[in-house]
Amino acid sequence: MTQIYRGRFAPSPTGPLHFGSLVAAVASWLDARANNGEWLVRIEDIDPPRVFPDSARSILTSLEQHGLVWDGSVEYQSNHYAYYSDALKELTELGRTYPCSCSRADLAEMGGSYDGRCQNAPPAESEEHAIRFIVDEAACWQDLIQGPAQFDKAAIQGDFIVLRRDDLFSYQLAVAIDDWQQGITHVIRGYDLFDSTARQIMLLQALGKNVPQYAHFAVATDAEDAKLSKQSKAPAVEDELATANIISALEYLGQEIPHSAPKRSAAELMDMASRNWRLDKVPKKQSIRVC
Ligand code: GLU
């Protein structure tokens, strides 16, 4: 039996939808629809201090206004702590974790790549600590846009954190577990997460779970070559300009723009674009400057 395609869009609710995240939503939606698949939305509110009030609602409204209809109900990472906790327990039972009390300053002194010192000299129980995952094998995948990819322990800067010092689960653990738990088969996202993919594959492999297929498109940057993000003060997409925004996203993704595009509603245009979608036309660049 062939597995049904299931894609997803997983925004962090740290601000309104900006052009960079619109591209991620459009690309993942089109690839799912072109493959008769499902498209899920997951709000990544794993890091409460970074959550911006009301931004989940504003992101969902923008998606609707751009014709990006999702399947099923929207999931929130803040409801998934039990899954992350079970996964962490399993990794620990497999002997793949250790406590680490090193500070940011210690890490900077190591040159940014963790040297594994707490594995050999564990901190005292009472000392504040994070939990690191022991990397032992390289992650290799055939990226659907970038081609063959391989990262070993050195390339991802050593054993990485799965539970933070402040007791929050790490982004890497949460995303890997959610993608598996939700049966995601395809992850289409920006190149800024390329090395995160290696970490997520390593976690899934350690737990014996299915690994999705991945495709990484160029990350949209501003005039200073900084990734468009709330931190770089990327402007919110204007919902009233949905059709024009989608045309820009399609151009960015190397897709053909139908002549009638400016006259279409966002939903009509997305539907047309799904019929013409060509993943092989998405530029194989790592970043593209958009403003
Ligand atoms: N939540 C991440 C972000 O908004 C994206 C995560 C992902 O696609 O895996 O940057």
| Residue-wise pLDDT tens digits, 164-183 | 999 999 999 999 999 999 99
Residue 141: DSSP 8-state: E
Q: Report the Cα 35 to chain-centroid distance in Å.
A: 20
Q: Which fold has domain 6-80+174-289?
A: Rossmann fold (3.40.50)
Tell me what pLDDT residue 284 has.
Answer: 87
Residue 222: DSSP 8-state: -
> By CB neighbour count within 10 A (0-12 exposed, 13-18 middle, 19+ buried), where does 111 fall?
exposed
> Is the distance from the beta carbon of residue 175 to the nearest atom of ligand 1 less than 6 Å?
yes
| Architecture in CATH for domain 82-171 | 3-Layer(aba) Sandwich (3.40)
Q: What spacing in Å lies between the alpha carbon of 101 and ligand 1's midpoint?
A: 27
Find out whether 6 and 182 touch, Cβ atoms under 8 Å: yes
pLDDT, tens digit, for every residue of 188-215?
A: 999 999 999 999 999 999 999 999 999 9
pLDDT, tens digit, for every residue of 42-96?
A: 999 999 888 888 999 999 999 999 999 999 999 999 999 999 999 999 999 999 9
Taking the C-alpha atoms of residue 217 and residue 22, their distance in angstroms, rounded to an integer, is 13
> Is the distance from the beta carbon of residue 44 to the nearest atom of ligand 1 less than 6 Å?
yes
Taking the C-alpha atoms of residue 207 and residue 1, their distance in angstroms, rounded to an integer, is 24
Q: What spacing in Å lies between the alpha carbon of 125 and ligand 1's midpoint?
A: 33
Question: What share of the chain in percent tops pLDDT 70?
Answer: 98
> Is the distance from the beta carbon of residue 63 to the nearest atom of ligand 1 less than 6 Å?
no
Ligand 1 atom 6, closest CA: 10
Res 221 pLDDT > 90:
no
Res 253 pLDDT > 90:
yes
- Which of 77, 193, 232 is the best mutation target for the ligand 1 pocket, counting ligand atoms within 8 Å of the beta carbon and taking the most? 193
**Buried b or exposed e, range 209-235, using 16+ CB within 10 angstroms:** eebbebbbbbbbbbeeeebbbbeeebe
Tell me what pLDDT residue 38 has.
Answer: 98
Tell me what pLDDT residue 237 has.
Answer: 95
Q: How confident is the model at residue 3 (pLDDT cuts 50, 70, 90)?
A: confident
Q: What spacing in Å lies between the alpha carbon of 136 and ligand 1's midpoint?
A: 25
Tell me what pLDDT residue 49 has.
Answer: 86
Q: Where do the CATH 3.40.50.620 domains begin and end in the chain?
A: 6-80+174-289, 82-171
Q: How confident is the model at residue 227 (pLDDT cuts 50, 70, 90)?
A: confident
Residue reference for tokens 């939990």: 131
**Buried b or exposed e, range 19-48, using 16+ CB within 10 angstroms:** bbbbbbbbbbbbbbbbbebbbbbbbbbbbe
> Is the distance from the beta carbon of residue 161 to the nearest atom of ligand 1 less than 6 Å?
no
- Which of 51, 184, 188, 189 is the best mutation target for the ligand 1 pocket, counting ligand atoms within 8 Å of the beta carbon and taking the most? 189
- Which of 9, 46, 76, 175 is the best mutation target for the ligand 1 pocket, counting ligand atoms within 8 Å of the beta carbon and taking the most? 175
Strand order in the sheet with 6-9: 6-9, 38-43, 75-76
> Is the distance from the beta carbon of residue 12 to the nearest atom of ligand 1 less than 6 Å?
yes
> Is the distance from the beta carbon of residue 247 to the nearest atom of ligand 1 less than 6 Å?
no
pLDDT, tens digit, for every residue of 126-142?
A: 899 999 999 999 999 99
